[in-house]
Amino acid sequence: MNFAFPEPPEGADLLIRAATAAKEDAGAAWTAWAKGRDLAHIDASSFALLATVYSRLRGSGALGAEESRLAGIWRWSWARNELTLRAAARVLALFSSAGVPCVALKGLPLLLLCHGDRGARVMFDADLLVPEDRLADAWRILREDGWTPKHADPPPRVRPFLHAVPFTHTSGAAIDLHWKPLPFEGTPGAWEGVRARAVPGTVNGTPALFPDPVDLALLAVAHGLRPDPHAALRWVVDLVALLRSRDGRFDWAALHARAGAWGIGAAARRSLRWACLMTAALPPEAAPDGPDPDRDEQRLLAFLFRHGDPRRTAAQVVADQWWNFRRVARTRSLPAGPCAFAGTVLATYRTIWGTRGLCSTVTRAVRRAFLGPPPEALKSVPAAP
**The total number of residues written for the chain in this structure:** 385
Sheet holding 164-169, edge to edge: 103-105, 126-129, 174-178, 164-169, 147-149
In angstroms, rounded to a whole number, what is the distance separating the alpha carbons of residues 226 and 8?
13
CATH level 3 topology of 12-248: Beta Polymerase; domain 2 (3.30.460)
| Residue 260 one-letter amino acid | G
Provide φ and ψ at 200, rounded to 5°: -75, 150
Q: What local confidence, expressed as pLDDT, does residue 97 receive?
A: 97
Burial class (CB in 10 A: 0-12, 13-18, 19+), 382: exposed
| Residue 42 one-letter amino acid | I
Provide φ and ψ at 264, rounded to 5°: -130, 30
Q: What local confidence, expressed as pLDDT, does residue 381 receive?
A: 45
Would you kindly state where each structural domain of the chain is located, as residue ranges? 12-248, 308-380
In angstroms, rounded to a whole number, what is the distance separating the alpha carbons of residues 278 and 131?
36
Instruction: Count CA within 13 A, CB hemisphere, residue 221.
Output: 33
Could you give the 3-state DSSP secondary structure of residue 90? Answer: helix
Q: Return per-residue pLDDT of the chain as tens, 385 residues.
A: 344 445 678 889 999 999 999 988 999 999 999 998 988 889 999 999 999 999 999 988 899 899 999 999 999 999 999 999 999 999 999 999 999 999 999 999 999 999 989 999 989 999 999 999 999 999 999 999 999 999 988 988 899 999 999 999 999 999 999 999 999 888 888 899 999 999 999 999 999 999 999 999 999 999 888 877 778 899 999 999 999 999 999 999 999 999 998 999 999 999 999 999 999 999 999 999 888 888 888 888 888 887 767 677 778 888 888 989 998 998 888 888 999 999 998 888 888 878 777 787 677 767 766 666 665 554 444 444 3
Provide φ and ψ at 197, rounded to 5°: -90, 0
Task: Yes or no: say if 141 and 99 are a contact pair by the CB < 8 Å rule.
Answer: no
Q: What pTM, to 2 d.p., does this model score?
A: 0.89
In sequence order, what are the residues at sequence separation of 6 or more whose Cβ sits closer than 8 angstroms to the Cβ of residue 53? 15, 18, 19, 26, 30, 63, 70
Q: What local confidence, expressed as pLDDT, does residue 57 receive?
A: 94
